[in-house]
Structure 1
Amino acid sequence: MTAADILEAYNAHLAQSRRRSPHTVRAYAATAARMLHALDGELDWATVARIDAATLRTHLAERRADGLGNVSAARELSALKTFIAFAKEQAGDLDASRPRLRGPRVKKGLPRPITPDEAVNLAETVADDASAPWIAARDRAVLLLLYGAGMRIAEALALPA
């Protein structure tokens, strides 16, 4: 079995059985291809299924040395765990557990607020797309209220009429 055969089966599994988006399939397949390239010797499902936490840690350390960030490393780890679980299933391994390895910590960033010009443009665009003048006025007023007062949508909708 070649690496191409393994990747083709994995792609089909992600796209058809798991119904993943084309972007996810492409990213996970690229990660799996890098892992297969790093493995030495003959490739088959059993070889991939035997990948342990130490091998994953080494592979991710090499990727981190190439400049891979925390978010990307976490995604790669998730993709590799999924790949190994699929390989175990294909190899007939009854133990479907994945290697136990924690991913890097990912800081949750704050959302970037829009600028005043972007808020006005958004309100005007929504108003232009409205089917009636009163709907346009309502939508524009709600959007400007949300932006100007820093309200959440639930707070704006809870205002008395």
Structure 2
Amino acid sequence: MRALDGASANTLRAYVGDVSTFLAFQAGHRGGPMGLGEIACIAASDMRAWLAAERLRGAGARSVARRLSSVKAFVRWLSEREGFDPTAILSVRAPKFRKPLPRPLPQDAARAVLDNVGAQHPTPWIAIRDLAVVTLLYGCGLRISEGLGLTGADAPLADTLRIRGKGGKERLVPVLPAAREAVDRYIAVCPFDLDADGPLFRGARGGALNPGMIADVMARARMQLGLPSTATPHALRHSFATHLLEAGGDLRAIQELLGHASLSTTQAYTAVDTVHLMDVYTKAHPHGK
């Protein structure tokens, strides 16, 4: 997965944990260590016992589905190498769950967050840095890892950014003037040398900025503004997509900007937009009042 799919360290850790937990359960359930022969003999009843145990442990349907996906991927790979029939494992259906809709901020709330973030930290250059990061996430629809992954070589920002996203996939993202200006202000006041190979956004001591710092900034902003707990750094990316869609943006273009491999992932925003339109309709239509 690391070599062929460019899987992140976090993804690999999750898969290792899922498969290890599964094999440990089967060892206890079947009464012995899980070698290749034992894995090849796992039956549908063994899989049902594991799924039931996961639910008894308190795992939700979404978590169980992810763990089952990890196990299936491992067993599929192993069966191709070792030549056994994995049907009993691969035929198990994942529990159904409803994918949560993205939780974007309203446009006025997004503007309020930007104003709040820029006035938070007592150290001026850090306040300017925080505003630059948050403006970049919202203005370009970046994941926090993508924004903090920029280096000194990316400065000053050009009209477009080449972003390496999940799975090592690259995409070009236009940079709005407001985002470029916010980053330029940060570069001008940053007390550290922003060498080409080093991180663009620095912590208070000059190291790479920790994503948790931006999460804390957003947490303070939402508390002060009375926003819900879903107002996180990632919500800024959701807001970018939803506000583009509300303004008439093309779904395919938004897919490219977000770096989604599948259009179905991006289509979740159409549901959000429909909810918004129905709310406007209900409030505006004479029969809705």
Q: Does the pair score TM above 0.5?
A: yes
| Bigger mean CA offset, 116-125 vs 32-41 | 116-125
Shift of 1:101: 1.2
2:39 to 34, 37, 48: 48
Aligned residues: percent identity? 26
After superposition, the Cα gap between the structure-2 partners of 1:106 and 1:148, relative to the gap in structure 1 and judged at 3 Å, is closer
Q: Is the 8 A contact 2:15 2:70 kept in 1?
A: yes
Counterpart position of 1:151: 247
Q: Is the 8 A contact 1:77 1:103 kept in 2?
A: yes
Counterpart position of 2:180: 129
Shift of 1:89: 3.1
Answering whether residue 84 of structure 2 is matched by residue 84 of structure 1, we say no
**C-alpha distance in 2 between matches for 1:149 and 1:119:** 17
Tell me the amino acid that sits aligned with residue 42 of structure 2: I
After superposition, the Cα gap between the structure-2 partners of 1:152 and 1:113, relative to the gap in structure 1 and judged at 3 Å, is farther
Tell me the amino acid that sits aligned with residue 41 of structure 1: G
Q: Is the 8 A contact 1:74 1:104 kept in 2?
A: yes
**C-alpha distance in 2 between matches for 1:33 and 1:15:** 18
Counterpart position of 2:21: 34
Counterpart position of 2:2: 15
In structure 2, runs of 5+ residues without a counterpart are 115-134, 140-175, 183-238, 254-289
**C-alpha distance in 1 between matches for 2:33 and 2:99:** 41
Return structure 1 stretches of 4+ with deviation > 6 angstroms: none
Shift of 1:18: 5.0
For residues 48-106 of structure 1, what are the alpha-carbon distances to aligned partners after superposition, in whole Å with 9 as ceiling and x for unaligned?
A: 1222222111111101111101111110111111222233234332x354431111112
Tell me the amino acid that sits aligned with residue 100 of structure 1: S
**C-alpha distance in 2 between matches for 1:92 and 1:128:** 54
Q: Is the 8 A contact 1:49 1:85 kept in 2?
A: no
TM-score between both structures, scaled by the size of structure 1:
0.63
1:25 to 5, 9, 12: 12
Which structure has the larger Rg over C-alpha atoms? 1
**C-alpha distance in 1 between matches for 2:35 and 2:81:** 10
Tell me the amino acid that sits aligned with residue 110 of structure 1: L
* Number of residue-to-residue matches in the alignment: 130
**C-alpha distance in 1 between matches for 2:45 and 2:245:** 52
Shift of 1:17: 5.0
Q: Is the 8 A contact 1:52 1:99 kept in 2?
A: no
